[in-house]
Amino acid sequence: MGVLNVTPDSFSDGGRWFDVDAAVAHGRELAALGAAIVDVGGESTRPGAGRVEAAEEIRRVVPVVEALAADGVTVSIDTMRAATARAALAAGAVIVNDVSGGLADDEMLPLVARSDVDVVLQHWRGHSDVMESLARYHDAPSQVLAETLARRDAALAAGVDAARIIIDPGLGFAKGAEHNWQILRRLGEWVGSGHRVLVGASRKRFLAATGQADVATAAISTWCAAHRVWAVRTHEIPMQVEAVRVGTQLASPQ
Ligand code: PMM
More confident residue, 22 or 210: 22
Query: What is the per-residue pLDDT for 200?
Result: 98
Report the C-alpha gap between 118 and 130 in whole angstroms.
28
For the segment 93-108, the average pLDDT, to the nearest whole number, is 98
Give Cβ neighbours of residue 252 (< 8 Å, ≥ 6 apart).
none
Cα 253 to averaged position of ligand 1 atoms, centre (Å): 31
User: Could you tell me the CA-to-CA distances from 253 to 153, 198, 204, 228 in Å, in that order?
Assistant: 32, 22, 32, 12
114 a catalytic residue: no
Report the C-alpha gap between 226 and 241 in whole angstroms.
13
Q: Is 46 in the pocket of ligand 1 (CB under 6 A)?
A: yes
Task: Name the 3-class secondary structure at 43.
Answer: coil
Query: What is the per-residue pLDDT for 91?
Result: 98
Q: What are phi and psi of 245, to 5 degrees?
A: -60, -45
pLDDT at residue 100 is higher than 90: yes
Q: Which of 161, 79, 60 is nearest to 124 (CA)?
A: 79
Mean of the per-residue pLDDT values for the chain? 95
151 a catalytic residue: no
pLDDT at residue 49 is higher than 90: no
Query: What is the per-residue pLDDT for 204?
Result: 95
Q: Is 45 in the pocket of ligand 1 (CB under 6 A)?
A: yes
Q: Which of 199, 149, 204, 129 is nearest to 172 (CA)?
A: 204
With beta carbons less than 8 A apart as the criterion, state whether 201 and 179 touch: no
Which atom of ligand 1 is nearest the CA belonging to 200? 10
Q: How many CB atoms lie within 10 A of CB 146?
A: 11
- Which of 125, 164, 175, 233 is catalytic? The answer is 233
Q: Is 205 in the pocket of ligand 1 (CB under 6 A)?
A: no
Cα 114 to averaged position of ligand 1 atoms, centre (Å): 25
Query: What is the per-residue pLDDT for 108?
Result: 98
Report the C-alpha gap between 61 and 76 in whole angstroms.
11
- Which of 86, 164, 196, 204 is catalytic? The answer is 204
Cα 254 to averaged position of ligand 1 atoms, centre (Å): 34
Residue nearest to atom 3 of ligand 1 (CA): 45
With beta carbons less than 8 A apart as the criterion, state whether 82 and 75 touch: no
Residue nearest to atom 17 of ligand 1 (CA): 11
Cα 156 to averaged position of ligand 1 atoms, centre (Å): 23
With beta carbons less than 8 A apart as the criterion, state whether 111 and 74 touch: no
Q: Is 79 in the pocket of ligand 1 (CB under 6 A)?
A: no
The tens digit of pLDDT for each residue in 177-226 reads 999 999 999 999 999 999 999 999 999 999 988 899 999 999 999 999 99
The tens digit of pLDDT for each residue in 112-153 reads 999 999 999 999 999 988 888 999 999 999 999 999 999 999
Report the C-alpha gap between 234 and 162 in whole angstroms.
25
Q: What are phi and psi of 125, to 5 degrees?
A: -120, -15
pLDDT at residue 14 is higher than 70: no
